[in-house]
Amino acid sequence: MRTLRMLVHIFKAFLLSVLWLNKQRVGSIQLSAPEEVTGARSGSLTVSCQYDLEFKDNPKYWCKGSIYELCRIVVRTPKRKSTNRTFIVDDNRAGVFNVTMSLLRKQDEDTYWCVISRSGRNVFKRVALRISDVGETTPSTTTESNSIQIIDKEQEENSWWMTLRWILFFAMLTCLASTHFIVWRIKTATNMRTVI
């Protein structure tokens, strides 16, 4: 009877974690931005990060670094905030925040992230910034129709790895619980033999 209850609890925990992971994965498609933008040296560039209106009151920020978890926050909301050369404005009625970088330098060429802060895992989208010597620039905005449909390949891979990590965690937890149960049964059987 105890074994059955323990198995039911393990199954419930696994089911709840899978449901939670699916909810987290859905969040990754609720933010869109261009995958790559190009700005001219000494010029300026505006990147539009569009988001679902459920995040209208959440803080947003622009982060620099090739790995999201290790990136450095350049500028953040609330309100209109700026650093020396970077400016962020959140239009929460339209569901878009714009990041403007001015006086671009070659050192600005890097990977950046549009990020929405929330409890649990933040929602983020990768943007590669290229700096050209010539006066060429690429469009830095996306259309509303693309906003929900675009899924960044890197975020999709991250979600897949995150899901796999949790599945492996619960598989190891199940093995640990099973081992504990087997050891308990062996000890109980040994104790019963010594009593008889």
* Angle subtended by helix axes 153-195 and 2-27, to nearest 10: 170
Q: Is 30-150 CATH 2.60.40.10? A: yes
Q: Where are the domains of the chain?
A: 30-150, 152-196
Helix or strand holding residue 182 (H, E) = helix 153-195
Q: What is the pLDDT along the chain (196 residues), one digit of tens a residue?
A: 666 676 666 766 665 665 555 544 444 458 899 999 999 998 999 999 999 999 989 999 999 999 988 899 999 887 656 667 898 999 989 999 999 999 999 999 999 999 999 888 889 999 999 999 875 555 544 433 333 333 344 445 556 666 777 888 888 889 888 888 898 888 888 887 777 6
What does the buried/exposed string (b/e) look like for 5-42 if buried means 16 or more CB atoms within 10 Å of the residue's CB? Answer: eeeeeeeeebeebeeebeebbebbbbbbbbeebbbeee
